[in-house]
């Protein structure tokens, strides 16, 4: 099964995808993680991607699409894959359909997460991630802090704040870009009949783990 996580940054896509990854064994394919790896290694691709990411813009398709295609062709993604952060535009969604058709596959489930914008901004400003790329654990200073301040519970590495998570204006710009370019994907996948929209919010006491459990039981478990 090819599964897509939709939703603005800070809605909990990574949390839901991570839980489903553990339950299914399908790889969680995050373009964000791929970009950060290249940026940390200062590859040519990473340098170019960072120019867009640091200013709150989307990385162009000519950089993103070939990386996603190559990742979907890897052995561990043949039984299933969880796409987190791709596609972001209708053009990317259409290209993904072409890539999957070549592999005799298709998108079977799209999980669209929604969260009030004020919650998203606060959540992202308080987000901290493990600096160890092999771990990638995520924490939140208020909702889900590490046991020892600044240290990852899982591997003991230093926790850091992503550059693009430290500025409220940059975060708002990312949300604006989402509204303009990514939200139309909801209609695209609605027309295909493969989407489910789920709210994640402290106000209704429903977080990512709750959504992940419900999705697994209803759509994936056999």
Q: What is the CATH number of the domain that holds 201?
A: 3.40.50.300
Q: Which ranges constitute the DSSP H helices of the chain?
A: 13-24, 31-40, 44-53, 61-72, 90-102, 117-125, 168-177, 184-192, 208-215
Q: Is residue 197 part of a domain?
A: yes
Neighbour count for residue 208 (Cβ, 10 Å): 21
Strand 159-160 versus strand 127-130 pairing type = antiparallel
Q: Point out the residues that are catalytic.
A: 13, 88, 127, 162, 174
For residue 171, being part of any structural domain is answered with no
- Which span out of 23-37, 41-55, 133-147, 186-200 was modeled with the highest average pLDDT? 186-200
Question: Which residues is 138 bridged to in the sheet?
Answer: 129
For 41-55, what is the mean pLDDT?
85
End-to-end CA, the chain:
12
Largest CA-CA distance found in the chain, in angstroms, rounded:
47
**Higher-confidence residue: 88 or 19?**
19
Q: Is the pLDDT of residue 33 over 90?
A: no
Q: Is residue 48 part of a domain?
A: yes
Q: How many domains does the chain have?
A: 1
In this prediction, residue 97 carries a pLDDT of 97
- The pLDDT of residue 190 is 94
Q: At 96, is the secondary structure helix, strand, or coil? A: helix
| Integer Cα distance of 7 and 195 in angstroms | 12
Q: Residue 138: which of 20, 16, 4, 6 has the closest Cα?
A: 16
| Pair 194, 110: CB distance under 8 Å | yes
199 in any annotated domain = yes
Can you give the pLDDT at residue 89? 86
Its domain, for residue 62, covers 2-115+181-220
Indicate yes or no: pTM above 0.85: no
Give the C-alpha separation, 23 to 1, whole Å.
Answer: 13
37 has a pLDDT exceeding 80: no
Using pLDDT thresholds of 50, 70 and 90, give the confidence band for residue 163: confident
Residue 53 has pLDDT above 90, yes or no: no
Find the mean pLDDT for residues 12-31.
91
pLDDT at site 131: 94
213: in domain: yes
Q: What average pLDDT does this structure show over 167-185? A: 86
| 136 part of a folded domain | no
């Amino acid at each position: 099964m090819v599964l897509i996580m939709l939703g603005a940054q800070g809605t909990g896509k990574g949390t839901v995808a991570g839980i489903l990854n553990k339950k299914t064994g399908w790889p969680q394919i995050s373009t964000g993680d791929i970009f950060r790896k290249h940026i940390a290694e200062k590859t040519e691709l990473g340098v170019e991607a960072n120019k867009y990411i640091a200013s709150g813009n989307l990385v162009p398709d000519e950089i993103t699409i070939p990386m996603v295609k190559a990742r979907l062709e890897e052995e561990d993604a043949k039984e299933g894959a969880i796409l987190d952060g791709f596609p972001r535009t209708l053009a990317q969604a259409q290209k993904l359909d072409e890539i999957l058709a070549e592999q005799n596959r298709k998108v079977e489930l799209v999980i669209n997460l929604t969260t009030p914008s004020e919650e998203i901004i606060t959540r992202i400003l308080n987000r901290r991630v493990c600096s160890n790329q092999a771990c990638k654990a995520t924490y939140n200073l208020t909702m889900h802090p590490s046991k020892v301040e600044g240290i990852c519970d899982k591997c003991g590495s230093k926790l850091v704040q992503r550059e693009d998570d430290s500025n409220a204006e940059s975060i708002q710009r990312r949300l604006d870009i989402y509204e303009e370019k990514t939200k139309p994907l909801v209609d695209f996948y609605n027309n295909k009949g493969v989407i489910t929209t789920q709210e994640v919010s402290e106000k209704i006491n429903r977080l990512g783990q709750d959504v992940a459990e419900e999705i697994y039981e209803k759509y994936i478990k056999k």
